[in-house]
Structure 1
Amino acid sequence: MSDPQGTPISENSADQPSRPKLLLNESRNSLSQGLQILRTPFSVLQKPRKCSTIVKNLQDVASRQLFILKLAKALLAFGAPSHRIESQLRAASDILEAQAEFVHLPNIIIVSMKGDEGTSNRTYFVRSRGRIALTSLQRVHEVYRDVLHDRMGAEAGTAALRQILKTPPIYSLAWRCFFAFLSASIICGLSFGGSILDMWISGACACVLQYLGLNAANKSSMYANVYEISVSIIVAFVARGLSNIPGDIFCYSSISSAGVVVILPGFTILISALELMSKNIFCGSVRIVYAIIYTLFLGFGLTIGSDFYLVLDRSARRRYYRSSIPQNLNYTQGYFLAQNGTLAGVAVRGVMGIALAGGNVPAHTFKNCIRDPAWPWWRQALPWWTLFFLVPIYSVCSSLSNLQYWRSLQLPIMVAFSCCAYAANRAASLILPGRTDIVSAAGAVVIGMLGNVYSRLIGGTAFTSMVTGVLFLVPSGIAQGGGVTQTYSSSAEQYSSGFSLALRMITVAAGVTIGLFISQFLVYLFGHRKNAGHFAF
């Protein structure tokens, strides 16, 4: 090297000292050491990185593509989270090198695969309508994980998925109706202020509802289209009839709300909100519009059932409309002159009744149910200490009704997570009453943290361990917002109550969605990314 005059310049001369380079290297080393120290507390969440390619169980392309098609069928059939299905299939295609592309629509997956030796692409339509089956979904995820982690071949995985799809439900129709009876009975007392008598009636309604849904609706396609409206009419008719027995023995609001809680589209609205948050706009918008219209139909069916009984029983109709009129009125007859308003200065002749606003609300009302302290214990709302055993029992019944095997190790984990989520939800409701979105988000953060940490540290399935707790948040949030049914006095209020129910469900789903995404961000903020698709909410 030389200067413009040709004088050679040494690299160790004063113009180019080496000391700054040494300081720069030392600063880089100290910075890397500092980052390593900061990452040390979170190293417990990290696992050794596994190979993302298949080495031991190499098989032909056709077998790998058939496994992906069976996997798509199983995920749709057993109620996998729809906003995760496409990412799971894409991860399987990349690791298995199956050269497939996917388009996920509601209840259908379009798969495009490249043929052998550069032939034209083949398009497959995988369609299935299913309900949540937690045990089968757990087995599907285990097969999926074994194949992608090179512990099982694609042909063996296809055979295992085919066997899972052929397996009938693990519980009979009678057991599933019994689980629905217990779930509705407990949720009537926990969330809707029902008494012991109300719990029995709401459980019986839910049992009949479950039987019609699993038996009659599956056998007749014509009845399946009107199943939800028909059962809501029946439940509202029975609840209105029992509530008109003299003495206020039964509560209409608690019986009707808990009786139809089994068919509330809370899970559908939650999945649609998760899809919208995941930028899956088409599926999310379709599902949320369907859920809103479905909720309006459900509210309209409850209104029809209640009004149908009032039409048949004239005395009950008179008592019902009389209850909406204030009792203690001060009547004045004569001419009245308005000082302001639209009729200012216009004289009006007639009879005026004056009462305090809200004077027609009965005393000793708890969650839209009359509970006189002088009544016996079996007509009162459940005391607070019953939560300690009713919440675990409800969590067990909810898990079993979603086809979770009763002898599995996953069941106590589901129950524990659900109890923690309900405790957080209850505590947040005491601090912030009336804020169903924030209250639901608090419970969702807790169960999301537990489920994702359980998946990372122990290797369990986050989705199946979180389903029971997440589904528990929906009726709890709706009950805090006023319940499913409300009193109305005109046709306009009938439809407004239906819209308010849909709005409450969307509010709860939005809070749960935000809480789940926050918990996922906190857990997966540190550590390596997952090789396979993330199987959680």
Structure 2
Amino acid sequence: MPTMSLPTLRLPKPVLRKQHYPENPSEPIEGLSHPSEIEARHRAGRLAESVSGVVSRASPDDSPVMGNFDDIGLLNGTEARDYAAATGAAKSEDDADQSGLKFRQRVEADADRLDPEEIRSGAATPVAYDLEFVPPAPTNYHGDWSEIVTDKLKRERNEREQRPRKEHKRKPSKTAQQKVEQLQIKKHIAEIISRHKYMVKLCRALMEFGAPTHRLEAYMAMSARVLAIEGQFLYLPGCMIISFDDTHTHTTEVKIVRVPQGVDLGKLRDVHEIYKLVVHDLIGVDEAMSRLDAVVTRKHKFNKWIRVVTYGLAAVCVAPFAFQGRWIDMPIAFVMGCIVGLMQLIMAPSSELYANVFETSAALLMSFLGRMFGSIQYKGENLFCFSALAQASIALILPGYMVLCGSLELQSHNMIAGSVRMVYAMIYTLFLGYGITIGAVLYGLMDKNATSSTSCSNPLNSYWDLLFVPLFTLCLCVINQAKYKQLPVMLTISFAGYVVNSYTNKSLNSSTISNTLGALTIGVLANLYSRLSRPAENFWLRLKLRKVNQDLEKGIAKANEDPETTARRVGYGLAAAAMLPAIFVQVPSGLASGGSLVSGVTSADAITGNKTAAASTTGASDLNTGAFTVLLSVIQVAISISVGLGLAALLVYPFGKRRSGLFSF
């Protein structure tokens, strides 16, 4: 059979590897354990079948069969002895060895001439497998060689299954660990940022809705302690400086919260409840922020026009019990009170320029109108009371609350805020005093017979005060946006404080002591309400729940009675909101007892040259005397009230409150 002539192509030499064969065919082959080698053995078997086809067609006179293997390029990295033994081309082992030596020499000489691309498919062409060396069966073995390999694999598999397996926990990769750490850091930072946002929103709400200013720093510090935040707080009137510290990164974040101070008793109660729930770990920061946003964005309970009318009703109610007003003075007082409400609620917010002169203009106008109506005579007597009209109309813009907050801040050793607020209250009071005096002077220039009386004749019976005090308190609740469920407590505390103040003033004839005792009564009742309201409310709920359960057992329960919905509530009484209307009642009473608001009428008479019985002093310096008399009276009343409130807090909370701040004045 002629050999094939192939083009010359340089290829790497095939590597002939030696293997160790077991002498006993039944022994397993050393190193044969992977199932892929079985597949390689099957490929070698199919190759041997293709080679056997070539041998069967070869002529006996041709060169040895091994030469044909070289020509067709089948011996790639395997021993010639293996293929000779597998195909039966060698009659004995010696012949196979001799043929293998000759064949090895020919392979080494002609390997470079092999070109796989020139090989054409045919009967002698092997299947294009990726051949790997697999130890063939020994020459003297005539059984199924795969059985030995399969048995060995089965034994090894059984041994592996019988071995005790070690539990290895999968360790996360470095990338996974970094991702987890990054997520934890982001989550931690997000939690800290949300806590900071809650603190800022809480501070803004407390300042906007009229929380006790001398305890704002304590409220913020206790909230920061519960939320595990390092913070420092500095309160100034209308401004809170918040510093969030981080000792790990040595960084500090400073926030400045500027809010105009106002009073909203209903929203203050809601904010106080949210503050308590967070301090006692009953709700999270995210839920607290959503609730605060809902409270802040909620509309006012009473609109501006209702409050303007309420200003007039408040002037009508305060005139009889505080300034000796009479029935005939009430219509004029209503009109003048509505004018003040219109100026404060409508005109001042709409014009920044007018807001700067609101106090002076309101006092000037009310003094002018009051003296004008008071100078009207009927049958030789004044028809209206000048002092009642002038004082009742401006009772709601008196700086008593402002001076009270300043004195409480100074009393609690908050020198910066207390000093700033006290000085501002003094200047504010001087504006009112100058306005009252100038208004009286202006009308005195127009009417030489203007009245100068600082008291009213034929006042109402003092028993009418028991009616007008609760009505005035109700008007204050409407003006300050109180909730309906807060009204009973506010009316009760205000009425009790006024009764004590009025009785002690008549008995001791001292406005300072009477104001102190009245404030002490108000503080004790409000703090007791704050401390006992939740147990009392839950006590009544338990009684109601017991009755509902009894009705259910008897089968007479109503359809709307459900014991599951009647559960214990987490309610906290707010002492600050409960006592604030009562304090507003104390301030006009204290000022009226001193008679300081209309004391500038004597100065007005001296300036205009009107000689009246009340004008006992002369000179231009009396203009200053009237203003400073109002200032001195307001400061005395505020200090008396602050001392009484401080003693009340000490009596009810002798050891203070450890976990949350005392929400009381």
TM bucket normalised to smaller: 0.7 to 0.9
Between the aligned partners of 2:279 and 2:190, the Cα distance in structure 1 is 13
Partner in structure 2 of residue 134 of structure 1? 265
Amino acid at match of 1:146: L
Partner in structure 2 of residue 369 of structure 1? 455
Q: In the TM superposition, what are the counterparts of 1:397-416 in structure 2 within 5 Å?
A: 397-405=475-483, 407-408=484-485, 410-416=486-492
Q: 2:648 aligns with which of 519, 523, 529?
A: 519
Aligned-pair CA distance for 1:171: 0.6
Amino acid at match of 1:534: L
Aligned length: 420
Aligned-pair CA distance for 1:214: 1.1
Amino acid at match of 1:443: G
Moved more, 98-107 or 200-209: 200-209
Unaligned runs of 5+ in 1: 1-57, 325-364, 372-379
Between the aligned partners of 2:254 and 2:645, the Cα distance in structure 1 is 35
Unaligned runs of 5+ in 2: 1-188, 534-571, 607-619
Return the index of the structure with the highest Cα Rg.
Answer: 2
Q: In the TM superposition, what are the counterparts of 1:402-481 in structure 2 within 5 Å?
A: 402-405=480-483, 407-408=484-485, 410-433=486-509, 435-458=510-533, 459-481=572-594
CA RMSD after TM alignment: 1.8
Partner in structure 2 of residue 28 of structure 1? none
Partner in structure 2 of residue 286 of structure 1? 420
Partner in structure 2 of residue 499 of structure 1? 628
Q: In the TM superposition, what are the counterparts of 1:104-183 in structure 2 within 5 Å?
A: 104-115=235-246, 118=249, 120-183=251-314
1:200 lines up with 2:331 in the alignment = yes
The question of whether the paired residues in 2 share the 8 Å contact of 1:134 and 1:404 is answered with: yes
Between the aligned partners of 1:116 and 1:69, the Cα distance in structure 2 is 20
The question of whether the paired residues in 2 share the 8 Å contact of 1:192 and 1:483 is answered with: no
2:243 counterpart SS class? strand
Aligned-pair CA distance for 1:72: 0.5
Amino acid at match of 2:227: L
Q: In the TM superposition, what are the counterparts of 1:71-90 in structure 2 within 5 Å?
A: 71-90=202-221
Amino acid at match of 2:399: P
Partner in structure 2 of residue 529 of structure 1? 657
Return closer, same or farther for 1:169/1:116 CA change in 2, 3 Å cut-off. farther
The question of whether the paired residues in 2 share the 8 Å contact of 1:248 and 1:370 is answered with: no
Give the percent of matched residue pairs that are identical in Structure 1 and Structure 2. Answer: 32
Return closer, same or farther for 1:423/1:239 CA change in 2, 3 Å cut-off. same
Amino acid at match of 2:522: I
Between the aligned partners of 2:455 and 2:194, the Cα distance in structure 1 is 61
Q: 1:277 aligns with which of 411, 428, 447?
A: 411
Aligned-pair CA distance for 1:172: 1.1
Between the aligned partners of 1:219 and 1:302, the Cα distance in structure 2 is 24
Q: 2:460 aligns with which of 367, 382, 385?
A: 382
Q: In the TM superposition, what are the counterparts of 1:179-328 in structure 2 within 5 Å?
A: 179-246=310-377, 247-311=381-445, 313=446, 316-317=447-448, 319-320=449-450
Aligned-pair CA distance for 1:370: 4.5
Aligned-pair CA distance for 1:119: 5.3
Amino acid at match of 1:530: R
Aligned-pair CA distance for 1:369: 2.9
The question of whether the paired residues in 2 share the 8 Å contact of 1:273 and 1:509 is answered with: yes
Aligned-pair CA distance for 1:436: 1.7
What are the Cα deviations for residues 421-441 of structure 1, in whole angstroms up to 9, with x where unaligned? 0011011101111x2221110
Aligned-pair CA distance for 1:117: 5.5
Between the aligned partners of 2:195 and 2:212, the Cα distance in structure 1 is 23
Amino acid at match of 2:511: T
Return closer, same or farther for 1:110/1:244 CA change in 2, 3 Å cut-off. same
Between the aligned partners of 1:462 and 1:395, the Cα distance in structure 2 is 16
The question of whether the paired residues in 2 share the 8 Å contact of 1:236 and 1:256 is answered with: yes
Return closer, same or farther for 1:214/1:116 CA change in 2, 3 Å cut-off. farther
The question of whether the paired residues in 2 share the 8 Å contact of 1:236 and 1:306 is answered with: yes
Between the aligned partners of 2:595 and 2:493, the Cα distance in structure 1 is 26
Q: In the TM superposition, what are the counterparts of 1:8-23 in structure 2 within 5 Å?
A: none
Between the aligned partners of 1:261 and 1:485, the Cα distance in structure 2 is 12
1:444 counterpart SS class? helix
- TM-score, normalised relative to structure 1: 0.76
Between the aligned partners of 1:448 and 1:286, the Cα distance in structure 2 is 25
Partner in structure 2 of residue 99 of structure 1? 230
Q: Which has the higher contact order (CA 8 A, sep 6+)?
A: 1
Aligned-pair CA distance for 1:156: 0.8
